[in-house]
Amino acid sequence: MDHSLNIYIGWDSREPIAYKVAEHSLREHASVPVEITPIKLDDLIARGVYSRDVDPLASTEFTYSRFFTPWLAGFTGWALFCDCDFLFLADVAGLLSYRDESKAVMCVKHDYTPKSTTKMDGKVQTAYPRKNWSSFMLFNCDHPSTKTLTPDVINRESGAYLHRMQWARDEEIGEIPVAWNWLEGWNEKPQSGTPNAIHFTNGGPWFKDWQNVDYADLWRAEADRVDPAWKPA
């Protein structure tokens, strides 16, 4: 089996430093070849493949475009999608052992109910079944169910259909450990060490009001390395 990984990270024009930290920290720890691509909504619109109407409840520019990951990967091999508000502290090579050809997608199966009605920079925080499952998805791009995620389907189907992974049967959704999508402010801190990937899902240290969250010091240190001129918004 191939020991490289195509990785797609959601891009949001309001949070360029978040993307830089996610990409750099991922690349910094990787011991296998990785090809990292930002999913930019404007690019997909310019290519004529994204045509959804603006959703007022969408909290990021990649709310729906994330599901283009298998299409962008040519429906071949395995590809990882993650939100931009991640800090990686472990080697993504560790994910490769969880690949299962019988599964369409692998994810952390959170049972997550947001404590607040707003997130990040005042965006609405919506609650729905399987919330945050789609924030970190290891796609089996060759799988027949994954291949149904065509641009037409992504543009047409509801957010519930996409984010709840109704495009795959329940038994086709595999599970990876919570350490790979550790939700700051929700999951308990490990007794020793750190999570593999910290997800600042409610807001991160790139916002002025989110400076004291868990692992903010590690995120800021990474941000200082990639962009010494950055400042919280």
Quickly state the pLDDT bin for 2 (edges 50, 70, 90). confident
d(CA 112, CA 110): 5
pLDDT by residue (tens digit) across 110-128?
986 665 545 455 455 565 5
Q: Is 98 exposed, middle or buried (0-12, 13-18, 19+ CB in 10 A)?
A: middle
d(CA 184, CA 151): 32
Radius of gyration of the chain (CA): 17
What is the homologous superfamily of the domain 5-226 according to CATH?
Answer: Spore Coat Polysaccharide Biosynthesis Protein SpsA; Chain A (3.90.550.10)
pLDDT by residue (tens digit) across 37-93?
999 999 999 999 999 998 888 889 999 999 999 999 999 999 999 999 999 999 999
What pLDDT is attached to residue 1? 73
The vertex-212 CA angle with 63 and 136, nearest 5°, equals 30
Question: Are the CB atoms for 105 and 78 separated by under 8 Å?
Answer: no
Sign of CA dihedral 217, 232, 24, 92: positive
What pLDDT is attached to residue 116? 56
What pLDDT is attached to residue 162? 97
Please report, for the chain, the start and end positions of each structural domain, with discontinuous segments joined by +: 5-226
What pLDDT is attached to residue 115? 59
What pLDDT is attached to residue 58? 87
What pLDDT is attached to residue 226? 98
